[in-house]
Amino acid sequence: MKAPQTQFTVKQLRTFGRLACVLASLFFLTNESRAQTQVTGLSYGSLLGPSPTTVGEITYYNYNRTVATISTTEDNFAVNGTMASNVYFRRTSGGNNNATVFYDYNSYNSGQSGADAVVYGNGDSNPTLQEVMLSGNLTEGLRNPFANTNASASLLSNIERIDFYFSGGYTVTGTERLVFFDLENAGNKGDGFRIAAFTAVDGSNTPTAYANTGKLVNPDTFGDPVTSPTLGNSTYLRSSTTNGDNLTGTQSIAVLDSNSGGSSELYLVGIALSFQDLGISVGTKIYGYSLMAGDVSVGSNYNNASRLVNWTNGSTYLTNTDAETWGNMDFMGFGAQLAKPVPEPSTYGVIFVGLCASFFAVRHWRNGRQPRNAALSS
pLDDT in tens, 47-60: 888 899 999 999 99
Whether 145 and 107 share a structural domain: yes
Whether 155 and 267 share a structural domain: yes
Instruction: Examine residue 377 and state whether it is found in any structural domain, yes or no.
Output: no
Whether 235 and 304 share a structural domain: yes
Instruction: Examine residue 190 and state whether it is found in any structural domain, yes or no.
Output: yes
Quote the domain boundaries for residue 27.
Answer: 1-33+344-372
Global pTM reads 0.83
Whether 96 and 16 share a structural domain: no
Whether 324 and 361 share a structural domain: no
Instruction: Examine residue 309 and state whether it is found in any structural domain, yes or no.
Output: yes
Whether 79 and 109 share a structural domain: yes
DSSP helix/strand/coil, 282: coil
Asked whether 77 and 277 are in contact (CB, 8 A), the reply is: no
Domain count, the chain: 2
The mean per-residue pLDDT over the stretch 340-350 comes to 65
Give the Cα separation of 377 and 305 in Å (integer). Answer: 72
Whether 235 and 365 share a structural domain: no
Instruction: Examine residue 378 and state whether it is found in any structural domain, yes or no.
Output: no
Give the confidence band of 375 by pLDDT, cuts at 50, 70, 90.
very low
Instruction: Examine residue 216 and state whether it is found in any structural domain, yes or no.
Output: yes
Number of C-beta neighbours around residue 33 at 10 A:
11
Whether 182 and 138 share a structural domain: yes
Instruction: Examine residue 193 and state whether it is found in any structural domain, yes or no.
Output: yes
Instruction: Determine what percent of the chain is predicted with pLDDT higher than 90.
Output: 68
Whether 137 and 250 share a structural domain: yes
Taking the CA of residue 123 as centre, how many other CA atoms within 13 Å lie in the half-sphere pointing to its CB?
28
Q: How do residues 87-103 score in pLDDT, each as one tens digit?
A: 999 999 888 899 999 99
The mean per-residue pLDDT over the stretch 232-249 comes to 92
Whether 104 and 10 share a structural domain: no
Rg (CA), the chain: 26
Q: How do residues 61-81 score in pLDDT, each as one tens digit?
A: 999 899 999 999 989 999 999
Whether 135 and 233 share a structural domain: yes
- Residue 27: pLDDT above 50? no
Instruction: Examine residue 132 and state whether it is found in any structural domain, yes or no.
Output: yes
- Residue 191: pLDDT above 90? yes
Instruction: Examine residue 331 and state whether it is found in any structural domain, yes or no.
Output: yes
Whether 133 and 227 share a structural domain: yes
